[in-house]
Amino acid sequence: MSDRPRLAIVGPGTIAEVHVPAMRRAGAEVVAVVGRSVEQARIFADTQGIADAYGDLETMLGAHPIDGLVISSPNSLHASQALLALEHGVPTLIEVPVVLHLADVGRLEKASDRYRVPLAAAQTQRYMAPVRQLKVAIGSGAIAPTHGVIRWAFPRLRSVNWQGRERTWTDSLLWHHAGHVVDCLSWLLGAPSTEFVTPCMGRNENGPLDLQMLARFGNVAINVFMSYAASAVTHDLLLVAHGTSFSLDFTVEENGVRRESPSLLEAAVELQDAAFVDLVGGRPSDIPLLRDVAPSLRYIAEIEGNMEAADA
């Protein structure tokens, strides 16, 4: 490996536009991009100053020596592309959702162990400054929450991304956004268990459009409400302790409209991608690996089963 790790990215979409400059600032060289076609990848490569473009991941892995891969492709491709990268011995950072089906967790775990190649998960909320400050406050005992509410709602009845751009594929509230929420709360408070889950009000091809449940994370009771059917973006967390409270708002207001905070996300991705570059370079890293997030993924599958039972 050279002094500058050589990284590639598969999935030239909106979040890839955040990853590329973040990886460069971390000291890596972004040498290739893979899209659904060579033409699509070439447009992104030319825009981002990347030398090589491919329309197929296996072709790129066979032809181009790289030290690490970032997967930011459509959700349904994540697990299969990660398996392919692990088989080629390439450390990989996979955007959430890591999987859409519980069985793929075991397949990825076995492949990572078999090939002795790390698979990291882009649980970006762990790197958001206010979340890290809250982690320190809880760890030090400065705040000892007993109850809380998290609301994660946005208008996603149409297939659009976090910047409102049209998509050709459908997102998953449960495996993607609840995956972020469950991982973040587990990281902050402790392992989850479900008190009850309500029936969902609607579904798309990838599962429920809403989620309402009462769960415990460690010893903290959290009311979780999530929805793709909202008319506006609401992303916030309130934790209540005896005589005090702590609140986080992950949105900003622009021209009278609330939206996910681009600066909060971009700063978190920069820290996260620097941790991945450290991992690739053999340096100490706090990037969450598959083994760190697997319990949360199995809990998502449990929620999925509970919701199906509630809907029956």
Residue 93 near residue 73 (C-beta atoms within 8 A): no
Cα separations in angstroms, 146 against 3, 35, 37, 49: 47, 46, 51, 49
- Per-residue confidence band for 2, with pLDDT thresholds at 50, 70 and 90: low
Please count the other Cβ atoms lying within 10 Å of the Cβ belonging to residue 72: 21
At residue 225, does pLDDT exceed 90? yes
Query: What pLDDT shows up at residue 64?
Result: 87
- DSSP letter for 27, please: T
Query: What pLDDT shows up at residue 117?
Result: 98
Q: 165-190: buried (b, 16+ CB within 10 Å) or exposed (e) per residue?
A: eeeeebbbbbbbbbbbbbbbbbbbbe
Residue 117 near residue 300 (C-beta atoms within 8 A): no
- Per-residue pLDDT tens for 282-298? 999 999 999 999 999 99
Cα separations in angstroms, 67 against 79, 166, 196, 284: 19, 32, 44, 16
- DSSP letter for 289, please: B
- DSSP letter for 97, please: P
At residue 230, does pLDDT exceed 60? yes
Locus of tokens 């990268």: 85
Query: What pLDDT shows up at residue 57?
Result: 97
Phi, psi for 74 (deg, rounded to 5): -55, 145
At residue 206, does pLDDT exceed 70? yes
- Per-residue pLDDT tens for 26-40? 999 999 999 999 999
Query: What pLDDT shows up at residue 89?
Result: 97
Q: Which residue has the higher pLDDT, 112 or 311?
A: 112
Phi, psi for 35 (deg, rounded to 5): -125, -175
Please count the other Cβ atoms lying within 10 Å of the Cβ belonging to residue 24: 17
Correct CATH for 125-260+295-311 of 3.40.30.10, 3.40.50.12780, 3.40.50.300, 3.30.360.10:
3.30.360.10
Give the dihedral sign, CA 139/178/44/155: negative
Is it true that the peptide bond before 97 is cis, omega within 30 degrees of 0?
yes
**CA angle, residues 225, 226, 230, in degrees to nearest 5:** 115
Alpha-carbon distance of 82 to 257, in angstroms, equals 37
Query: What pLDDT shows up at residue 255?
Result: 83
CATH 3.40.50.720 domain range(s) in the chain: 6-124+269-288
Residue 307, H or E segment: helix 290-311
Residue type for 71, please? I
pTM of the model: 0.93
- DSSP letter for 177, please: I
What percent of the chain is predicted at pLDDT more than 70?
A: 95
- Per-residue pLDDT tens for 21-77? 999 999 999 999 999 999 999 999 999 999 999 999 999 999 989 999 999 999 999
Cα separations in angstroms, 209 against 100, 101, 173, 193, 202: 15, 17, 6, 21, 5
Query: What pLDDT shows up at residue 168?
Result: 59
Q: Which residue has the higher pLDDT, 162 or 269?
A: 269
CATH numeric code, 6-124+269-288 = 3.40.50.720
Query: What pLDDT shows up at residue 171?
Result: 84
Please count the other Cβ atoms lying within 10 Å of the Cβ belonging to residue 145: 24
CATH 3.30.360.10 domain range(s) in the chain: 125-260+295-311
At residue 160, does pLDDT exceed 90? no
